[in-house]
Chains A and B, each alone.
Chain A
């Protein structure tokens, strides 16, 4: 049996829809149930639903053989995983945003950056030699500049509406993020047949080659 870890929330429905088109179906009852581990209809796959940041953890430890999670989470976790497919779902951008877009060029002192992505932020500013103080938050990051906690934020943006409504605008884009299929290194070798089949089937769906 292949265990697939799925990130709960934003990406979950898109990921399940893709998997269904690749022939891995969860029936309605299972989907609506509140159990966190469920088998698919064929009994060949088991799904576990975990928080996005935990997907790389489950897969790296080999508890799940593969998973679906955003590139933002992968960049932040730096887990040692195989990333064979870009699933092109839940597309969004990781950006630097501020109330005053000029602040990056105007301020020569230490900038305060509030973010859920402390590693991505540290790397982004660090490689360009811009001194920043990273303030780690776990949600509602857009509040930080309005309340004076930080000068900048580094966060995920889909439409930009949340930013606008909180009086922020994008200063620069760090990276684009989409949902990725990740695979455990050991599983890739030890369960190569079913995993290769899954990668191929999903790859065909993503590239629009699926048979009608």
Chain B
């Protein structure tokens, strides 16, 4: 629960307008989705664990409703149903509040957050990935956050390839994922001792998982399975393109970003800004999502958290 009054409200509006004007300049059409929808939609769109963080209640006929915990689910359904005949690619953007229950006393405590987001649906490959990354970078630059933000990128197929190669059962795969996500090197080492195969050694150097192009080179030295290698190639291609656009300073490769493996299918990204203790944005490629609504096609997008950005920029204004 949060009020914005006077100058703060103006600042928040300016940030929203800036983001929406950048989206518009890149031919993204605004979309406004229902704030209340059937809970099923979000479970199909986000997976059960995430959707359950939404606020749920029942309609008069007993059907379960939810305050939208994300916008992407609605956009994906819309693309697969209402707009199934429209020529691809589809480009949509939005500025809309989403509602989630938050564990008390955790840093991301707000129940209501406004997402500034975009979805690029129906096109594959690194040109689409590059487009949304450049969009995110442009918005942050237009907000005068240049040199104080960092976008980390990863390709979740690198981890998936290694996990498949190790032939892990579900719970072991989740344990491996958790240990990499929190960079628990000592435990990870113990975990891997039981495997003859040592591909996962790629994740053992917590200080070598994050960086520029050299991270990919280091990973290639230990990873041999073809699925991970293809993902490394694609990540490197993306990096080369970012570099060519002069964005290498603002981006980092982070092979340990494996937080939402069930959702993303390729690129995953996180946005960090000096002054904010948690990430202020995230996104990636989710080619599996629209298939849940009857029409499988590639899709990529991201969201920025308007409230977190407002807080950072408001503090900066008073500090000056």
Interface residues of A (CB under 8 A from B): 57, 60-63, 78-86, 183-190, 192, 196, 199-200
With known contacts A60-B107, A189-B152, A199-B206, A84–B277 Cβ distance under 8 A:
no
Say yes or no: B277 contacts A63, CB within 8 Å.
Answer: yes
Is the Cβ of A60 less than 8 Å from the Cβ of B106? yes
B57 CB → nearest A CB, Å: 27
Chain A residues with CB below 8 A from B210, complex form? 188-189, 192
Contact B276 A62 (CB under 8 A): yes
Residues of A within 8 A of B206 (CB): 82, 84, 199
Query: A189, B207: Cβ atoms under 8 Å?
Result: no
In the complex, which residues of chain B have a beta carbon less than 8 angstroms from the beta carbon of A61? 107, 277
A83 and B186 CA atoms in complex are apart in Å by 10
A72 to B182, CA, bound (A): 16
Listed by A's residue number, 23 A-B pairs whose Cβ atoms lie within 8 Å are: A60-B107, A61-B107, A62-B107, A62-B276, A79-B106, A80-B106, A80-B278, A82-B182, A83-B182, A84-B206, A86-B185, A86-B186, A86-B187, A185-B278, A186-B273, A186-B279, A189-B152, A189-B252, A189-B254, A192-B252, A196-B207, A199-B207, A200-B207
B183: chain A residues at CB < 8 Å are 82-84, 183
Determine if A186 and B106 form an interchain contact, defined as CB atoms under 8 angstroms apart: no
| One of B185, B274, B276 near A85 (C-beta < 8 A) | B185
Closest B-chain residue to A207, C-beta based? B186
Enumerate B184-205 residues with CB–CB distance to A below 8 Å.
184-187
- In the complex, which residues of chain B have a beta carbon less than 8 angstroms from the beta carbon of A192? 210-211, 252
A200 neighbours in B (Cβ, 8 Å): 207
Question: What residues of chain A lie closer than 8 Å to B184, measured between beta carbons?
Answer: 83-84, 86
B207 touches A62 (CB 8 A): no
* Interface positions of B (Cβ within 8 A of A): 103, 105-107, 148, 150, 152, 182-187, 206-207, 210-211, 252, 254, 270, 272-274, 276-279
Contacts of A79 in B (CB 8 A): 106
If A83-B183, A190-B274 are given as contacts, then 10 extra A-B residue pairs at C-beta distance below 8 Å, sorted by A number, are A62-B278, A83-B184, A84-B183, A84-B206, A85-B185, A86-B185, A186-B279, A190-B272, A190-B273, A196-B207
- Report whether B207 and A57 are in contact in the complex, using a CB–CB cutoff of 8 Å: no
Contact A81 B182 (CB under 8 A): yes
Which of chain B's residues have a CB closer than 8 A to the CB of A63?
A: 277
Residues of A within 8 A of B273 (CB): 186, 190
Q: Given A79-B106, A84-B206, A199-B207, A186–B276 Cβ distance below 8 Å?
A: yes
> What is the number of contacts between chain A and chain B, taking CB atoms within 8 Å?
67
Please measure, in the bound complex, the distance between the C-alpha atom of A64 and the C-alpha atom of B130, giving whole angstroms: 34
Contacts of A196 in B (CB 8 A): 207
Q: How far is the CA of A186 from the CA of B108 in the complex (A)?
A: 13
A64 to B137, CA, bound (A): 27
State whether B186 touches A85 (Cβ < 8 A). yes
Contact A60 B186 (CB under 8 A): no
Residues of chain B within 8 A of A189, CB atoms compared: 150, 152, 210, 252, 254, 270, 272
Which of A63, A85, A185: most chain B Cβ within 10 A?
Answer: A185
- Report the Cα distance A167→B113, complex, angstroms: 52
With A and B bound together, what is the CA distance between A17 and B105 in angstroms? 31
Given that A60-B277, A62-B278, A86-B186 are known contacts, is A186 also in contact with B272, CB under 8 Å in the complex?
yes
Residues of B near A184 (CB, < 8 A) are 277
Report B256 CB to chain A, min CB distance, Å. Answer: 8
Q: Kindly list chain A residues whose C-beta atoms are within 8 Å of the C-beta of B106.
A: 60, 79-80
The distance in angstroms between the C-alpha atoms of A93 and B72, with both chains bound, is 45
Residues of A near B186 (CB, < 8 A) are 85-86
Which of these, A78, A80, A81, A190, contacts B150 with CB under 8 Å? Answer: A190
B277 and A62 within 8 A (CB): yes
Closest 4 CB pairs of A and B: A62-B277, A86-B186, A84-B206, A84-B183
Distance, CA A63 to CA B278, complexed state (A) = 11
In the complex formed, the residue of B with least CB distance to A178 is B186
Q: What is the chain A residue whose CB lies nearest that of B252?
A: A189
Whether A185 touches B185, Cβ cut-off 8 Å, given contacts A192-B252, A199-B207, is no
Chain B hits for A57, CB < 8 A: 105
Q: Which residues of the partner chain A approach B103 to less than 8 Å between Cβ atoms?
A: 78
B-chain residues with CB within 8 Å of residue A62 when the two chains form the complex: 107, 276-278
A123-B206 Cα distance, complex, nearest whole Å? 29
Say how far B192's CB is from chain A's closest CB, in angstroms: 15
Bound CA span A200–B270, Å = 24
The CA-CA distance from A190 to B148 in the complex, in Å, is: 8
- How many whole Å from B218's CB to the nearest CB in chain A? 14
Q: Contacts of B150 on A, CB cut-off 8 Å?
A: 189-190
